[in-house]
Every structure is written in C-alpha cells, then in structure tokens.
Chain A
Amino acid sequence: MKVRLPLNPIDEYLVDGAPRAELAYLWETIAKVGRDGFVSRAKQRDLYLSMQGITFTLSGIERPLPVDLIPRVIEVQEWQHLEAGIKQRITALEAFLDDVYGEQHLFRDGIVPKALIQSSEHYHRAAHGIKPANGVHIHVAGVDLVRDQNGTLRVLEDNLRSPSGVSYVMENRRTMAHVVPELFNGYSIRSVDEYPERLIAALIAASPRGVSNPNIVVLTPGVHNSAHFEHAFLARRMGVELVEGRDLYCRNNKVYMRTTQGSEEIHVIYRRIDDDFLDPIHFKPDSLLGIPGVLNAARANNVSIANGVGNGVADDKALYTYVPRLIEYYLNQKAILPNVDSFDLQDPDVLHDVLSRLDELVVKPVAGSGGYGITIGPKATKEELAIVADEITLNPRNWVAQPLVALSTIPTVQEDGSLSPRHVDLRPFAVNDGKEVWVLPGGLTRVALVEGNVVVNSSQGGGSKDTWVLTDETIGERESIEIEETDPALDPLNLEIVPQEIGPEVLPPSRMRQQEEQQQQYHVNLEVCHNA
C-alpha cells in the first residue's frame, strides 16, 4: 500500500513547471548539460571525491558523500533574513547557557521549568563554575532549518555541541567548480572558503586570559568516527595539530601535548568528542578518548574547551520549544525564525490529544540525534504506533511530537541523468568569536536521495547539495545585461514532477507576487563567476 503524505511540499526551483526568475538562466545551463551530460559528470564527481578522500561512514561502510550536481540557490534577501535569525538565536542561547550554568535567573523568573533543565541528560552540574575566557560557550553552531509547505523557513533543531558537515560545504563548492563549472556562469556567489579563518580567529579569541599566542588543537575521537574526515580537514585548513586524547595530558591543571621534542602547553582545544567522553574524572570513568583533568584545567582557566561543556542542555529537543521565549527573555525581541510547532507532552491534555492522532504526527526521542528513532505517523504501521504510544505514555519527558512538515524539494540528478524532486533541509553554520556571531554564507543542504524520504540526514544515507548565496552583484548586473527570455517549459531532462506534490497552490500569495515582479524585469548576468 502506498501512503501519500497529506501535505504538498513546495519546490525551490520550479513554480508550475517553470523556474523561478533568478534560476532561469541556471535552468537553461542545466538543460544544456543534458541527461547524458549529468550521467558522465556524476562519474567524474565520484572519481574526484574518492581521489580527494572525501568519505562519510554509513553503518560502518566508508563511501563518498554524494554531492548532487544541482545546487540550491538562496537569494540575497532571504539570506539576510536567515542570517539575522540565526545570529539572534545563537545570541539568545549563549545568554541562556551563561545563565543556566551561572546565576539561574530564568528559574526565578519562571521562564523555563527547573525540572526541564535538571532532568536533561546534557545538563552537567560539573560544568557549573567554568567561566569561558571570552564568555563564549557556542563557538560553532549548526542550525537545522526546513522550508514548510507554506514556504516559511523554520528551525528544526539547534546543534550546539559538535555540529558536523562544514567541511562538505567547502568541498562541495570545490567539487562543483571542478565537475560542472558552467553552472556558475552568470551567477555571483558568496565564497565559503572563509570558514577556517573565522574558526581559528574565534578559537584564538577564546584563549585563556593572558595568553597572547595560544597553542590550539583539534581533538578527535579517532579515525573510526564518522566525521573524522572533517576533523582532519579543519585541522589542516587551520594549520593546527589534529590530536586524540592520548596525545594530551594534564599536569597541575594545565594541558600539554606530547611531541617528539617534548611537551608543549595547549591553550585551546577544539574538541569533536562528546562531553561524556571528555574527562573520565567527571564523566564516564572508563572513557579512553578523553583527557583526565581537562575539566578542572578549564575551570582554572588554563585551557579553553570549544564548544563549551554542557552545551547540550541548550539544544535538547525539550528545550527547543522554549527558544522563542528565551529570545524574548534575554534579548527582548521576537524570534525572527519560527520553530516547527511542537507539543508539550508533559501537559496531560496535550498528551491525550497527541496520543489520539499519532498517525498524523512526527514523534522523536528527546535524547536521539541523527534521525534514528523518529516515527513518522503516516508512514508507521499500527504496531509501530502502538509501541511508540506506550513509550510516550511511560515517559513523556523523553519525547517530542510535531505536526508533519512537507519539506521543500529541489530537482536532483538521478542515476539515469534525469531530474527528480527530492526533499531537502539546510544547516547553516555560525561561528562566535565573542564579539560577533558570523554565519557562513550558505550551509549544508542535505537531500534525501530516496524518493519520498522526509528524513534528510547524512547518517541516514542522504546526500548534499552545494548551497549558493547570491550576492547583490548578481541582481545589480542582471539589470544591465539583457538577454532573450527562455522558454520556461524547457525540460530536456524529463524532470519527473509529481503534480499533486508540487502545485502552485501551495505557494503563499506574497511569494507569488514577488515572482511576478521579478519576471517582468527578467535579466541574467552573463559574467562568469570565479568563486572557487
């Protein structure tokens, strides 16, 4: 039996079969590459990726993380909106972390139930009293967003511990420029190469007080970790050592690295291992990945740990519901980016309602990450739903329920070279140096490569897309150079549009208007953009 989602997603390229105005020229280029062209370019890409050693482990098997050859394109205005929303969110969550591991005004003011925080498995009492040198807890954040059926970008999840994927953002751009360079023609795109510089600057800014020339390392759990490629990539691009726990040791509350020339004091650790494994004195005593004593070295302000210890309490799925309130409380602003609605299962009435219509909702375990353990109501069997219902009833604190969101789609290259719409999400990355929250233009667009799959997650076999943020120039120069209009129905790649899923009626009116205006002043910038 085929179960169809009850909502129609919108497509980010095509409206009623025709490309959005700013994509028309790109769409034409795509058509010129053609079906056979994409088949051979895909082969080139695979070869390029495996030569570069860009891999991602899925259930223990190493394989290239496929970058789809059709990019996602974000317009200037939308990016400005996203950027402002992410900065706001990270600023509020920083204030929250400072408060929750400090004075705890938010409990006194009744903003968040104390029990919600105290029962979070990521709330680390051992992190109390650790004061980051420049006040930053969230050195790097990855905020997951989705575009719903009304075209609204919504935050799905904050990742404030060790968000991964930024190396793919940079590598995807490089791969695209190598494999399909002509797609860049006519577009001026913001660079993504600045990231390592921004990160190292933020890590230097996080140095312990009095340290002017800090030694910085990237701490990895080891080669078996699924993101090891990224750890090595970032260390190399920042020009710092990539180390494992056994390479470091503490003495007298200072951290040292063992080198062939003896020991060297370390001042900043960009760690990509979880809190639980960081310091066996305070967390798992049997952890071999961490460094005994490192937490107290941070407490003594001899070393800075990035991201901060205990950040997980701020990206806990149960706290997520409260983030708009936190933005109001700490910043006195309305949230720029809305959440996906979620239901507070600790309220008995809400719980009752949710249990009665589990088949139309998405439920996720609070502690889970990576897309495992998510139940999508319309796709689950009666038996699966019954099991989930039992577990939710037993421990509502551990679950979050949300209405189904029809994730937007973008045309995606299939094995035979044709295009077919696939669901996407977006993870922009932000870096906080204590003075400014900087957002990398673009981010990682993850795409579900399986038709109809609505969970897009690189640990579930998804792929990714190069994500373009257009510059003002693209618009400006477009006005000066006119070209002939192309046939909007041009579709040599046999794009398999499922009519009931991508209809013009799902576009909000405001978007339709914008669409019309842009079509009237339709120009394309013919200048080739050398961005990579």
Chain B
Amino acid sequence: MSWRMQVTHSTSFQYESEVLASFNEARMTPINFSGQYLIQHRFKVSPDSTIFEYEDYFETQVKSFDVQSPHTSLLIVADSVVETHGPAPEPAHITWDVLLDPIFIDEFDEYLHHSSLVDYIEPGLNLRSQETPLAAVHFLNGIMREKITYAAGVTHVYSPASEAWSKGAGVCQDFTHASLSILREAGIPARYISGYLYTGDGNIGETVVGESHSWVEAWVGEWLPFDPTNGRPVAEDHIVVAKGRDYHDVSPLKGIFSGGASRKTDVIVSLTRLS
C-alpha cells in the first residue's frame, strides 16, 4: 500500500535584539528511493533569501542560505508532498560470520564506530547470543522501550547515548543513538535516519500535528529500518529525509548568526494524509 502525505516543517527563531547576519544549512528535503517518492517540495525563508542547494556526502539534499538584512525573527518553512510505500520485504538471513569478514568490516567502517553522540554504553544484553543479526535487530527493537522511557526535557540535543541510557529516559534521538551504540558494539553496521512520523488516525484530508522523528537502519544483508522509539517496523507513516552516522550528520537546521541572542525557537511539523 502507498500513502501520499503533505508535510509542513516550520521553524521560527525570535531574537532578543537585531541579528545582523545569519548563515544556515537546512536538511529538510525528503529523499527519493525505492520506498519513497518526492512529488513536490517548496522551501521558503523569511526575511527573503537566496537558496543554494547541494547534495552532501550522505546524499542528503541541503538548502544553504544567508540572511544579511537586520532581523529580529527568522522563519523557515519546508513544505513537501511525498508518496511512501509499505515496508520492504525483510532481507534474507545472513549469519554472524558475514559480519566478521575483514572486507565487510572495512566497507562499513564508518557505521561501525562509536562517536561523541553514539558513545559506548554497557547494554547488559548480548545481541550476539541471538541466532542471526536479523534476529538481534528484532530483539533490540523489542526491548528498547523497556530500557528507555519516552520523556521530553530529560536530555538535550547534544546528549550522548550513555546519558539517556543511564537516566533511562529520553526522546527519539536518544532511542536512536542508544540503539546505534548497541548494534555497532555487536558488529552490526547501523546508521541514523532523520525524517518525519505521521501520528494521526489516517483520515484523509485531516491535518495532524506530527513530529520530526529519528530511527535506525541496521545492515543485516541489506539496510533494514526499524523504529526503536515505538518498538515497531518502519512503514508508510515514516518519511525519510537524511541518513548519517549520528545526529551531527543530519541535523535539520544548523547555522550561526551574529547579533542578538536567541530568545525563542518554535518547531512545528504538521502532516496531512492526502491519499
């Protein structure tokens, strides 16, 4: 089954005093791949600005822009219409031996290392005791919500996996980083996926408040996505925007500015199922 969805991602910054110059990069454009097709995309910045687009190392569409007229607020709106397809069939089973092959390890090197955000955690569970890497991924996806409770405000955007793990609480980013840490420790290549999740009842034409979301892809013969925050597979209600090693590679908006301090940031993601 396939869905058609509209997603509107608006980010607004309010500053205490005038900002004289600001330089930004947005990663908010859904990608095209076999499971997803981008039908329409609009990207607007206010104050008005010229947008420069490029594809980065991780094949994410990046919108880069600067604002050099004095401003006290900045509004960024990314509006997309996307067709998503149902979950891909599960990859054929591979055995643990495949993951020990030095050629394989070299090929997936960048998705096998810990990083500042995906740091080492003592998981207290042994993925290697599962029969296959695929079984290990299913096991992990089933158990993460017992280890971390979803709670906003406990962690922040640059919290490492270990922090959420020891606090036993966090948001989707923390579920993702912790899962990546455990998978990589077990020798399973794993990457960070950022995107959107539709959370409504599926009524066509009804707009619901959704969220920026993140989940995991693990390599078990092919890349297999799963959503540890919800403990379920990835399906039509997930929209993929960016892939990377951790949050640093995919952050939806990063920028610097000179002038007044930031007072308030609002992010609103709304999704409408069109068909």
Contact = CB atoms under 8 A, between A and B. Distances in A.
Interface of A: 107, 113-115, 118-119, 125-126, 128-129, 249-253, 280-281, 285, 292-293, 296, 299-300
28 contacts: A114-B107, A115-B105, A115-B109, A119-B113, A125-B56, A125-B57, A125-B58, A126-B57, A128-B56, A128-B57, A129-B55, A129-B57, A249-B21, A250-B23, A251-B66, A251-B68, A252-B50, A252-B52, A253-B52, A281-B24, A285-B256, A292-B66, A292-B256, A293-B23, A296-B25, A296-B52, A296-B64, A299-B54
Nearest to B23: A292
Nearest to A279: B23
A296 B21 contact: no
Given A115-B109, A281-B254, A285-B256, A129 B66 contact: no
Interface in B118-172: none
A318 to B, nearest CB: 14
A128 B249 CA distance: 13
Contacts of A280: 256
Contact of A281 (B23, B109, B110, B249): B23
A113 B102 CA distance: 10
B233 interface: no
Given A118-B109, A300-B52, A281 B255 contact: yes
A303 to B, nearest CB: 13
B101 interface: no
B54 A114 contact: no
Contacts of A300: 52
Nearest to A280: B256
Contact of A114 (B50, B52, B106, B249): B106
Contacts of A293: 23, 64, 66
Contacts of B21: 249, 292
Interface string B42-60: 0000000010101111100
Given A252-B52, A281-B254, 8 more contacts: A115-B105, A125-B58, A250-B23, A250-B66, A251-B68, A253-B52, A292-B66, A296-B25
Give 4 nearest A-B pairs by CB, closest first: A115-B109, A125-B57, A128-B57, A292-B23
Contacts of A129: 54-57
Contacts of A252: 50, 52, 66
Interface string B74-107: 0000000000000000000000000000000111
A281 B256 contact: yes
Interface in B214-249: 249
A118 B110 contact: yes
Contacts of B249: 125
Nearest to A250: B66
A286 to B, nearest CB: 9
Contacts of B113: 119
Contacts of A114: 106-107, 109
Contacts of A126: 56-57
Nearest to B102: A113
Contacts of A125: 56-58, 249
A177 to B, nearest CB: 49
A126 B56 CA distance: 7
Contacts of B54: 129, 296, 299
A76 B247 CA distance: 56
A447 B21 CA distance: 48
Given A281-B23, A281-B25, A296-B64, A115 B52 contact: no
Interface in B11-39: 21, 23-25
A373 to B, nearest CB: 23
Contacts of A119: 109, 113
A57 to B, nearest CB: 30
A272 B57 CA distance: 25
A118 B24 CA distance: 26
B101 to A, nearest CB: 13
B59 to A, nearest CB: 10
A113 B108 CA distance: 11
Contacts of B66: 250-252, 292-293
A296 B66 CA distance: 11
A124 B28 CA distance: 22
Nearest to B22: A292
A293 B52 CA distance: 11
Contacts of A253: 50, 52, 64
Contacts of B57: 125-126, 128-129
Nearest to B103: A110
A7 to B, nearest CB: 36
A251 B55 CA distance: 20
A115 B106 contact: yes
A249 B20 CA distance: 12
A382 B58 CA distance: 47
A481 to B, nearest CB: 63
A300 B113 CA distance: 32
A250 B258 CA distance: 13
Contacts of B254: 281
A205 B106 CA distance: 38
A292 B55 CA distance: 19
Nearest to A300: B52
A525 B60 CA distance: 66
B6 to A, nearest CB: 29
Contacts of B106: 113-115
A211 to B, nearest CB: 18
A253 to B, nearest CB: 5
A331 to B, nearest CB: 24
Contacts of B58: 125
A281 B57 CA distance: 16
Contacts of A299: 52, 54
B28 to A, nearest CB: 16
Nearest to A251: B68
A251 B66 CA distance: 7
Contacts of B68: 251
Contacts of B109: 114-115, 118-119
B74 to A, nearest CB: 15
Nearest to A292: B23
Contacts of A115: 105-106, 109
A493 to B, nearest CB: 57
A126 B25 CA distance: 12
Nearest to A296: B64
Contacts of A296: 25, 52, 54, 64
B17 to A, nearest CB: 19
B80 to A, nearest CB: 22
A129 B56 CA distance: 7
A250 B255 CA distance: 14
A293 B258 CA distance: 13
A1 B25 CA distance: 60
A280 B56 CA distance: 17
Contacts of A118: 109-110
Contacts of A113: 106
A128 B105 CA distance: 23
